[in-house]
């Protein structure tokens, strides 16, 4: 999912709430703890407002502003207005940026409502950078297209975590990215690699699989290494490939998910021949015809697509494993 990339406001005494001098963060696997002493300057101005702590990568500047780049975590907090210096402690799912590069980090205080804390009130940066230990691509990578098939090759994949830290299920995925500067992207194919032990690696990988053509236009191509987590698939590394691809024909019919996208999907194919609703291309009206699909989940599908696996729907609020199992015979990619 794409996050906005705001620039934090310069600290101001007019803000009803500020981050105090004592603050920090601590990662524990895919979770992060956020701590902050808060300075309450106008307690009467807090009535009815919801607040959250956010952790971002950033680019500190010399003018007091902190351009924010990638939102790693967000956790709502509760405040006791009777306390002039409340202490907020919150836990959240962490979504580190792809790759192993070290990043400056910033803690932000934001207001809004659940899922939409977009008004940033105060931001502080940390003195040291943070590098994230996560599965990664190594060496060269590339692809070649041949009609409805694509061949993907990568020199290596490794898990640099400790020896007892088994990865989640890994997936090599080829994505088409819009070349016009927009955030549009389209899943082309996926290859399941399974889990990988800490300090272990795979080498000389080469696969051929069906491709789901992108809509007409010129697209850049990226190879992503993704890992299954409690929040669904998360991108751990990305390699932008140099050669663009152009699809000139009318938008083709979306093909079924590539082999290996899940045993449940394969089993469901044999159970029903009724038409299915394609979550990547269906209109709001078409999604409304899916029996048992809640309206809020249908709206989330329109916002967060495209999806590469039906299991990616589990990351949407309101879509649990039991509900998805009931809907599989009605849905396709």
Q: What backbone torsions phi and psi does residue 288 show, to the nearest 5 degrees?
A: -65, -20
Q: Are residues 246 and 294 in the same domain?
A: no
Q: Are residues 292 and 244 in the same domain?
A: no
| Residue predicted with more confidence, 121 or 270 | 121
Percent of the chain with pLDDT over 90: 43
Domain hosting residue 146, numbered range: 133-259
Assigned domain for 2 exists: no
Q: In what order do the strands lie in the sheet with 185-194?
A: 185-194, 170-178, 217-229, 232-247
Contacts of 48 (CB under 8 A, 6+ apart): none
State the Cα–Cα distance between residues 105 and 123, nearest whole angstrom.
Answer: 10
State the Cα–Cα distance between residues 160 and 76, nearest whole angstrom.
Answer: 32
Q: What is the pLDDT of residues 283-323, one digit of tens each?
A: 888 888 898 999 889 888 888 877 777 888 888 888 888 88
Q: What is the pLDDT of residues 25-53, one digit of tens each?
A: 999 888 999 999 988 776 665 666 789 99
Q: Are residues 241 and 142 in the same domain?
A: yes
Q: Are residues 226 and 288 in the same domain?
A: no
Of the residues 240, 259, 278, which one is the last residue of a structural domain? 259
Assigned domain for 108 exists: yes
Q: Domain count for the chain, please give it.
A: 3
Q: Are residues 200 and 164 in the same domain?
A: yes
Burial of 125 (C-beta count, 10 Å sphere; 0-12/13-18/19+): middle
- For strands 331-332 and 277-278, give the pairing: parallel
User: Which has the closest alpha carbon to 169: 202, 207, 142, 197?
Assistant: 197
Q: What is the pLDDT of residues 111-147, one digit of tens each?
A: 887 778 989 999 999 999 999 999 999 999 999 888 7
Assigned domain for 199 exists: yes
CA 15 to chain centroid: 31
Q: Are residues 208 and 150 in the same domain?
A: yes
């Amino acid at each position: 999912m794409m996050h906005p990339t705001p620039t934090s406001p310069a600290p101001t005494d007019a803000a009803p709430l500020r981050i105090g001098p004592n603050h920090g963060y601590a990662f524990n696997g895919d979770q992060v703890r956020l701590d902050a002493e808060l300075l309450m300057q106008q307690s009467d101005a807090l009535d009815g407002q919801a607040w959250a702590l956010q952790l971002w990568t950033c680019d500190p500047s010399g003018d007091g502003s902190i351009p924010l780049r990638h939102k790693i975590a967000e956790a709502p907090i509760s405040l006791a207005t009777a306390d002039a210096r409340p202490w907020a402690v919150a836990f959240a799912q962490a979504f580190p940026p792809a790759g192993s590069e070290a990043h400056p980090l910033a803690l932000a205080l934001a207001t809004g409502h659940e899922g939409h804390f977009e008004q940033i009130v105060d931001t502080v940066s940390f003195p040291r950078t943070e590098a994230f230990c996560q599965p990664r691509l190594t060496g060269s990578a590339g692809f070649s297209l041949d009609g409805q098939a694509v061949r993907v090759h990568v020199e290596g994949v490794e898990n640099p975590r400790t020896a007892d830290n088994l990865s989640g299920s890994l997936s090599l995925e080829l994505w088409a990215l819009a070349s016009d500067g927009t955030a549009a992207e389209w899943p082309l194919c996926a290859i399941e690699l399974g889990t990988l032990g800490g300090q272990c690696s795979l080498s000389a990988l080469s696969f051929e699989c069906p491709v789901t053509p992108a809509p007409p236009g010129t697209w850049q191509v990226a190879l992503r290494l993704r890992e299954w987590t409690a929040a669904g698939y998360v991108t751990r590394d990305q390699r932008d490939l140099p050669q663009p691809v152009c699809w000139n024909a009318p938008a083709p019919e979306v093909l079924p998910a590539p082999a290996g996208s899940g045993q449940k999907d394969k089993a469901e194919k044999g159970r029903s021949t009724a038409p299915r609703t394609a979550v990547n291309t269906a209109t709001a009206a078409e999604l409304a015809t899916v029996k048992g699909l809640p309206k809020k989940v249908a709206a989330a599908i329109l916002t967060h697509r495209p999806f590469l696996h039906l299991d990616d729907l589990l990351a949407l609020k309101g879509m649990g494993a039991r509900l998805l199992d009931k809907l599989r015979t009605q849905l396709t990619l």
